[in-house]
Amino acid sequence: NAGVTQTPKFQVLKTGQSMTLQCAQDMNHEYMSWYRQDPGMGLRLIHYSVGAGITDQGEVPNGYNVSRSTTEDFPLRLLSAAPSQTSVYFCASSYSGVYGYTFGSGTRLTVV
């Protein structure tokens, strides 16, 4: 099992550009989520999904879109990148959304 795979690992964007951060898991987990991590802060939930076709907003959803067309994939889209979105982004999945979260290795995004 690869676990949770995130791509790319690093990305630099110009203000206003759009891009998609990819997340895939091969553990047949129903629950997937995206977090951002900023210096000196804990992980903050952006969006989450409890299963294919179902998504919901987390704590800091503005500026991001998600979709869940398959159980395996949960891409995060930045619609129009802003410097405030410079962060490290983590995707996580779990079987139930309660126990056993597995995190990807992260995508470090810089918006200039």
> Are residues 49 and 55 in contact, defined by beta-carbon separation less than 8 angstroms?
yes
Interaction of residue 50 with another protein, rule CB under 8 A: no
> Are residues 105 and 88 in contact, defined by beta-carbon separation less than 8 angstroms?
no
Residue from 80, 105, 110, 112 touching another protein (CB under 8 A): that is 105
Considering the complex, what minimum distance in angstroms separates the CB of residue 69 from another protein? Answer: 22
Residue from 48, 64, 93, 109 touching another protein (CB under 8 A): that is 48
Beta bridge partners of 31: 94
Q: What is the three-state SS of 89-107?
A: EEEEEECCCCCCCEECCCE
Which chain residues interact with another protein by CB under 8 A?
A: 4, 33, 35, 38-45, 48, 58, 84, 90, 92, 97-106
